[in-house]
Amino acid sequence: MRSIVIAAVAGVGLAGVGIPLVTSCGGAAPPPPRGVIENDIDAWSFRRYQSLLDVEVWVSDNRAVAHTASYARKDAEKRGRLTEKDVVVAFVTSYQRDEGIEPAVVQFVRRLASESGYRVSEHEVKGVRLVEIRGTNEIWAMWPSRSHVVKIGGVGRDSIPDSFIGAYGERYPSRLHAGALDAPLAPLPARASPAAEPRGKSGKAKGR
């Protein structure tokens, strides 16, 4: 998790000027062409897009591709100095089908809590039901949506701007059921993979 956020901080100065966020009139906005919102969001400038070589939440027999975008606080850009807390990162993983995504997300965050020491809790923000994931000096929000998984947050932060939850929630309405963290969950197929932890420490990415 930390390495990809640091990479985002290092790369924001190389990107062009962000484009103002455009919202649609009437109904929910459709998912962006490359999964993530490549526009400014409120007081944050879109700075960098990356495609990921592997996905964080694996779903059996359901192929997926993941994308991420980094955003920089406009005030910090004006000061000419960005730190970790001045960057927010959004991940969107797109699957071929909707089947199995919500239970895979719930099992993933339960493993984060039981095996990696993260604190997980369920909340509703801007009408979006999500799981909040807190670690040492980092915070993330995650939710399933149709054939997607959305995750937003960063390192060096203690909160996530509501504007990000609202913007992504409009394009990716949450399908997380109330009480999902505590509800019985059938075991998912096992997969040989590294121990569960949020993306960044071992995941690879390539910038575009």
pLDDT digits (tens, 9 = 90+) for 64-77: 999 999 999 999 99
Nearest-5° Cα angle at 207, 202 to 208: 155
The helix/strand/coil state of 56 is coil
pLDDT digits (tens, 9 = 90+) for 73-103: 999 999 999 999 999 999 999 999 999 999 9
DSSP secondary structure of 65-92: EEEEEEEEEHHHHHHT---GGGEEEEEE
Tell me the chain's radius of gyration from C-alpha atoms. 16
- Is the entire prediction scored with pTM above 0.85? no
The helix/strand/coil state of 131 is strand
Residue 186: is its pLDDT beyond 80? no
Q: What are the structure tokens assigned to 60, written together? A: 């059996």
Between the alpha carbon of residue 115 and those of residues 53, 58, 108, 121, 134, the distances in Å are 24, 17, 10, 16, 14
pLDDT for the residue 166: 97
Q: Which of 97, 81, 103 is nearest to 177 (CA)?
A: 103
